[in-house]
Amino acid sequence: MIRTFLKASERILFNNYKTLALIILAVYVLYFLLESFLPSWPNPDSGFFAEPAYNLAFHNTFGMKSCKGFLEMDKYTYWKLPLYFLLQMVIYKTFGFGTIQIVILPFLISAGVLIITYYFGKVLFNKRIATISLVLTVNIIFLATSTTNRPDILTALFVILAFFFLWKFELTDEKRYVYYSSLCASISTLSHFVGFLSFISMIVYILLKYWKTHKLFESIKLIFKASLVFSIPFLPYLWYISLSPQSFISQFRYWNYVTTERMLSFTSIIGELERYIVSFKYLPFYMVGFLLVIWYCYKTRSDKRNRLFIILVLSFLFFMATLVGAHRNIRYLVALFPLVSIFMSKMFSDTLVQRTKHSYFYLILFWLIFLSNIITPIVYQITNFPTETNPDFNSIATKLRKIVENKTVLASSDYFIVFPENLQYNFQCVPEENLSEVIKNKSVDVIILDNKILPSTNLKKLINENYMLDSIIEKRRINVREIYKGLSYVVEDVYVYKKQ
């Protein structure tokens, strides 16, 4: 039986691997279509990342008007790096604004990630390993990231490019590839701070490479030149920062949780375990493969490809634990998934060829990853089809638009996608003292609350004194979509208050 299983697996992985890839790519496209046309209730990030790009596209201001009075966020967008907003602005300008438009950019970028992953795998190994790496990469977290209005997938695109050029440097010893890698790392950083980890990993790699040959001065010289290249894309952003340096410092520190205790702290590294506990919860089989491929490449580190993999991945993970320790979301690991999947594909292939005593276990793991990459996204979407007890986002949004038509609104950032022109104040970023004045003065016509927005006792009292409950939009059941997007809440009742 074991021999039959090994032979069948060998036949599929060596002769019919393209069929596996086509199945996974079909799931990938279907997932995007369902996410676009049957959207879930937008999470706060969708609204937050949509508003700066929307205002830039249609109002020529790079800020969030719903955050008036807080860190000058209505004038400047410093709380996240700018590249994703600028690209999203182009999408809105071209295609308009809506639930479909906000996922076009991340989906297109994710397609680019898959193309580069395939090319990278083909250059390093062969077409078969490159194709199987796609089968492993397209998991539920990759899909969710590919259809969420956040810059994480853009970061992953340039991280994998930065690593690709480092491999070209390792194979050819041509220093121009280090500069290309620095440029990609810089662009990745302009998407999200996680991208900076690829640049730090590059520095660690160069120091180790030249340390062995006792050429430390040469390594420092190369790192200095690479740093100059890294800084070039930041020059326009530095000009933008110069418009309001104090706002930049305030926004960056507040929204990125930058504190002395969190930076390079032992407690931060220990706390990093939270990220992997969540990772194993949603990707149990893939994360087992993640650990195994690190061990596999360490054992076979005589191969310089595997040695470089160990240096880059472990450096990336270490600095993620320290510099990005405050944000322990699983989505930041997506930047490593393409690289890990390429070497995981090589590991499965080698194990099958070598026919070791562990081959059976590795092949079972491969099929579990493959099946979970098919079944989980399908179940994830089917359970969110609109029903009487689970009304879809579009029906609720239509009702809300009628209620707030030609009115000003105080609500959470979730609702920006529903009525971008009406949202005047945002619960998430306007200080309570400012909100108190807004409510006392009845500066908005409508206030919308749900179970995610729990005002303080003082604010709730002010709302009841100055506004009356007008309507309650239908209740939604808990579903897996919100759970997989890393949220611990779902929209229950939506309460609409109008001023008395």
Q: Tokens in use for 246?
A: 């104090």
Q: Which of 7-21, 146-160, 326-340 has the highest mean pLDDT?
A: 146-160
More confident residue, 222 or 450: 222
Within-domain flag for 8 = no
Retrieve residue 416's tokens: 């920006």
> What is the pLDDT at residue 288?
93
Neighbours of 361 (CB within 10 A): 12
Provide mean pLDDT across the span 286-299: 93
| Residue 207: partners with Cβ closer than 8 Å, 6 or more residues away | 216, 219, 223
Q: Residue 14 domain-assigned?
A: no
Mean pLDDT of the chain: 84
Residue 471 three-state SS:
strand
Instruction: Check whether residue 420 and residue 353 sit in a common domain.
Output: no
pLDDT score for 12: 67
Same domain, yes or no, for 400 and 338?
no
Would 234 be classed as within a structural domain? yes
Tell me the pLDDT band of 477, cut-offs 50, 70 and 90. Answer: very low
pLDDT in tens, 393-438: 777 888 889 999 999 999 888 889 889 999 999 888 888 888 888 8
pLDDT at 153: 94
Residue, of 211 and 178, whose pLDDT is higher: 178
Amino acid 2: pLDDT: 60
- Measured CA to CA, the distance from residue 84 to residue 94 in angstroms comes to 15
In terms of pLDDT, which residue wins out, 124 or 432?
124
Point out the least confidently predicted range of 33-37, 434-438, 443-447: 33-37
Instruction: Judge whether 77 and 63 are in contact, CB under 8 Å.
Output: yes
Domain shared by 409 and 337, yes or no: no
Closest to 223 (Cα-Cα) out of 198, 199, 250, 189: 199
Crossing angle of helices 359-382 and 17-37, in 10° steps, is: 20
420 and 328 share one domain: no
Of 94-98, 127-131, 284-288, 490-494, give the lowest mean pLDDT range.
490-494
pLDDT of residue 413: 85
Q: Which helix (H) or strand (E) holds 47?
A: helix 44-58
Residue 231 located in a structural domain: yes
Q: How many domains does the chain have?
A: 2
pLDDT of amino acid 43: 62
DSSP secondary structure string for all residues of 152-163: HHHHHHHHHHHH
- Percentage of residues in the chain having pLDDT higher than 90: 44
Most confident of 8-17, 66-75, 121-130: 121-130
362 and 409 inside one domain:
no
Domain end (from 313, 342, 372): 372
* 211 and 340, same domain (yes or no): yes
Query: What is the average pLDDT across 322-334?
Result: 75
Lowest average pLDDT, out of 78-82, 184-188, 428-432, 474-478, goes to 474-478
461 with 366, same domain? no
**Residue 9: its pLDDT value, please?**
66
Cα–Cα distance, 470 to 464 (Å, whole number) = 12
Around 69, how many Cα atoms within 13 Å sit in the side-chain half-sphere? 16
Which of 343, 372, 401 is a domain's end point? 372
Whether the CA torsion 311, 314, 315, 316 is positive or negative: it is: positive
Write down the pTM of the prediction.
0.89
Rounded-to-integer distance, Cα 200 and Cα 235, Å:
20
Residue 208 lies in a domain: yes
Claim to verify: residue 272 and residue 301 sit in the same structural domain = yes
| Position 192 in a domain | yes
In a shared domain, residues 353 and 399: no
At residue 33, the pLDDT reads 85
Over residues 186-210, mean pLDDT: 93
Predicted pLDDT of residue 483: 41
336 domain residue, yes or no: yes
DSSP tag of 40: P
Structure tokens of 303?
């191969």
Last residue of a domain, one of 372, 407, 439: 372
Q: Please provide the DSSP assignment of 76-144 as one string.
A: ---SS-SHHHHHHHHHHHHH-SSTTHHHHHHHHHHHHHHHHHHHHHHHHT-HHHHHHHHHHH--HHHHH
CATH number for 414 = 3.40.190
- Residue 276 located in a structural domain: yes
pLDDT band at 14 (very low <50, low <70, confident <90, very high): low
* Upper half-sphere CA count for residue 6 (Cβ side, 13 Å): 16
Residues 195 and 340 grouped into a single domain: yes
| Residue 386 pLDDT grade (very low, low, confident, very high; cuts 50, 70, 90) | low
pLDDT of residue 424: 92
Q: What is the b/e burial string over 22-43, where b = at least 16 CB atoms within 10 angstroms of the residue's CB?
A: eebeebbeebbebbbebbbbbb
Mean per-residue pLDDT, 41-64: 86
CB 116 within 8 A of CB 164: yes
Q: What's the pLDDT at 350? A: 86
Asked whether residue 338 falls in the same domain as residue 459, the answer is no
Which own/partner contact pairs does 94-100 have at CB distance under 8 Å and 24+ positions apart? 97/50, 97/54, 97/57, 97/58, 97/420, 98/417, 99/36, 99/39, 99/42, 99/393, 99/394, 99/417, 100/36, 100/37
Q: Which residue has the higher pLDDT, 213 or 464?
A: 464
Q: Do 408 and 354 lie in a common domain?
A: no
Average pLDDT over residues 481-485: 43
Residue 437 lies in domain: 393-499
